[in-house]
Amino acid sequence: MATVNVKINGVEYAVPQGSTVLEAARIANIDIPTLCYLKDINEIGACRLCLVEVKGARGLVTACVYPVNEGMEIFTNTPRVQASRKMNLQLILSNHEKKCLSCIRSTNCELQKLCRDYGVDEGYIKGTVNEYKIDDSSVSIIRDNNKCILCRRCVGACNNQGVGVIGANNRGFDTEISCAFGQDLASTSCINCGQCIVSCPVGALYERDDTDKIFDAIADPTKHVLICTAPSVRAQIGECFGYAPGTDCEGKMVAALRRLGFDGVFDMNFTADLTILEEANEFLSRVKNGGALPMITSCSPGWIKFCEHYYPDFVDNLSTCKSPQQMFGAIAKTYYAEKMGWDPKDIVFVSAIPCTAKKFEIGRDGQSAAGVPDVDFAVTTREVGRMIEKAGIKFRDLADEDFDDPFNVASGAGVIFGATGGVMEAALRTAAEVIEGKPLEKVEFNDVRGVEGVKLASYKIGDINLNVAVASGSGNAKKILDAVRAGELDVQFIEVMACPGGCVNGGGQPIQPASVRNSIDLAATRAAILYKADEQKDIRKSHESSAVKKIYDEYFGEPNSHKAHEILHTHYVKRGLYNNK
């Protein structure tokens, strides 16, 4: 790689040619503050917090977009630079609602930290302050423009997802981030993915919080309150309590949930395995009997809504399988309710998930196998963290505990569901053995692993030449579907995760500041936990799970049976771009 020599604060460095000043400074272990910059999402130089001095340049320059060149001398911390940053913070704060004590992002707010670093308080600049009505129309996402700093990170994230339902409206002091024509968010083709939330540096965007309702249910002696946790929650919950990204806290998470008072703490990996049995057999049935191909996975509710709005012609290609979340709720209120002698109406089922779109999914039609909603509440990893904190549970001091029976057996294939390519790999492990009728010698399908936005692979399985595609992020799903639609890509099976990197990078995961997101591959770091857990499992194929075998023997009979379809499968809607009903 070609390099150039620069001098930063008097010290010489060789940095890659084409680097920005911001990137060069990071190589020098200097963190230049930013508010609008987010790597690969928003690089517009709007907030002016990253201003630095460059010898010979006219005025200060924005480090996030200013390229380095040979012999450049950069100064990142001069009195002039500090004064400029402080003034910009004062200007931002002058039109910002300063209710920090009750703000959901307090102590994890990038604006709050910078104001503390630069000694900025709220009284420096006074004048007219814009007031906005909070948009709480969505079942998943709430926008409070009173706290918006117009950084446009959320706009970049939404555009990156290929959705683009929010943008800058009006001009000058009246500029606001909102939907076109004054629509509320629920009236648009928003897919509820929550990537806007995890991109926001302040408290202008957050998920609808259901934790008080869950605490009320736990306190009700007439209710049986159960919870299951998605594969990636255990890989990220530790970040809520100061653990570094990439720390597996499954045992502590189970212990904490039990102490919150749940009557059952279950592992969603069980229904991830169940999904694979249903989905793999559905795929093989379509191949043999002429069903709609390519078949597309249906685990990601953000992706499902994206398909319904933007690619309704592919709705028939979607697997009819419910997501693992919905399957678990359905089983809890049918099979488990029968075993326990409970009325399904007395069960409150909660899922802990990395995804804000799951809050939309629980209200969809076709998600009530027992005549009541399969899942009552879907709470994000962040909400779970807040519940544990509110209850005064010392998470870091807890000893590891195991999930409850009878759903505590799961395969490594179920674990990797949380990473992009994980559903595809899990399905291939089972499909290959069903087709070939013999055990796989090697269960890893490395071609579909990794955080790349689009992955293609081909496999010879028995007499079938199988071409598969994996999309990470709905914006990349567009690329694959456009190619299929145009006849440029011949595939039989497609996995799509709405969030870049998969569930490990979901919109409900702990929010990491730009300084972290810009310096490490957060999705890859988090996914590594799941692949490590898979490697350590004795059972690594979904169809070998004893818990899955038992529920088929006792209840469903076989995959894709009539009873399985009644409880574990659903349908989808061709909404079109302007129909959100």
Q: Where are the beta strands (DSSP E) in 311-360?
A: 347-353
Among residues 390, 377, 393, the alpha carbon closest in space to that of 209 is found at 377
Q: How far apart are CA 159 and CA 166, in angstroms?
A: 8
Q: Strand 11-16: give its sheet, edge to edge.
A: 11-16, 3-8, 73-75, 51-54, 61-62
The distance between the two most distant Cα atoms of the chain, rounded to a whole number of Å, is 79
Q: How far apart are CA 329 and CA 344, in angstroms?
A: 10
Q: How many of the other CB atoms lie within 10 Å of CB of 405? A: 10
For domain 211-568, which architecture applies?
A: 3-Layer(aba) Sandwich (3.40)
pLDDT at position 578 is 59
333 DSSP 8-state letter: T
Sign of CA dihedral 160, 575, 143, 242: negative
Report the 3 state secondary structure along 175-206: CEEECHHHCCHHHCCCCCCCHHHHHCCCCCEE
- What pLDDT band is residue 150 in, cutting at 50, 70 and 90? very high
| Pair 384, 210: CB distance under 8 Å | no
Among residues 59, 67, 109, 121, the alpha carbon closest in space to that of 84 is found at 59
Residues 536-567 pLDDT 10s = 999 999 999 999 999 999 999 999 999 999 99
Residues 485-526 pLDDT 10s = 999 999 999 999 999 999 999 999 999 999 999 999 999 999
| Pair 530, 422: CB distance under 8 Å | yes
pLDDT at position 159 is 97
- What pLDDT band is residue 579 in, cutting at 50, 70 and 90? low
Q: How far apart are CA 392 and CA 382, in angstroms?
A: 16
Task: Return mean pLDDT, the chain.
Answer: 95
Question: What is the arithmetic mean of pLDDT over 330-349?
Answer: 98
pLDDT at position 121 is 85
Give, for 167, the enclosing helix (H) or strand (E). strand 167-169
Q: How far apart are CA 433 and CA 401, in angstroms?
A: 33
Residues 194-250 pLDDT 10s = 999 999 999 999 999 999 999 999 999 999 999 999 999 999 999 999 999 999 999
Q: Where are the beta strands (DSSP E) in 21-82?
A: 51-54, 61-62, 73-75
Question: What is the arithmetic mean of pLDDT over 362-391?
Answer: 98
Q: How many of the other CB atoms lie within 10 Å of CB of 460? A: 8
Distances from the Cα of 106 to the Cα of 102, 112, 451, 507, angstroms: 7, 8, 31, 18
pLDDT at position 540 is 95
Sign of CA dihedral 434, 298, 331, 418: positive
| Pair 386, 211: CB distance under 8 Å | yes
- Who wins on pLDDT, 337 or 581? 337
- What pLDDT band is residue 464 in, cutting at 50, 70 and 90? confident
* pLDDT score of 580 more than 70: no
Q: How many of the other CB atoms lie within 10 Å of CB of 129? A: 11
Domains 3-92 and 131-208 in one fold:
no
11 by Cβ neighbours in 10 Å (0-12 / 13-18 / 19+) ranks as exposed
Residues 83-93 pLDDT 10s = 999 999 999 99
* pLDDT score of 55 more than 70: yes
For domain 131-208, which architecture applies?
A: 2-Layer Sandwich (3.30)
Three-point CA angle 452, 458, 462, nearest 5°: 145
- What pLDDT band is residue 125 in, cutting at 50, 70 and 90? confident
Question: What is the arithmetic mean of pLDDT over 416-440?
Answer: 93
- What pLDDT band is residue 146 in, cutting at 50, 70 and 90? very high
Q: Tokens 């169940």 — which residue?
A: 274
For domain 3-92, which architecture applies?
A: Roll (3.10)
Domain ranges of the chain: 3-92, 131-208, 211-568
Q: How far apart are CA 470 and CA 497, in angstroms?
A: 8
Residues 95-109 pLDDT 10s = 999 999 999 999 999
Q: Where are the beta strands (DSSP E) in 199-336?
A: 205-207, 224-229, 264-267, 295-296
345 DSSP 8-state letter: G
Question: What is the arithmetic mean of pLDDT over 10-21?
Answer: 96
Question: What is the arithmetic mean of pLDDT over 32-36?
Answer: 96
* pLDDT score of 161 more than 70: yes
Which residue(s) pair with 15 in the sheet?
Answer: 4
pLDDT at position 452 is 95
Q: How far apart are CA 208 and CA 210, in angstroms?
A: 7
Q: How far apart are CA 542 and CA 447, in angstroms?
A: 20
pLDDT at position 553 is 97
**pTM as predicted:** 0.95
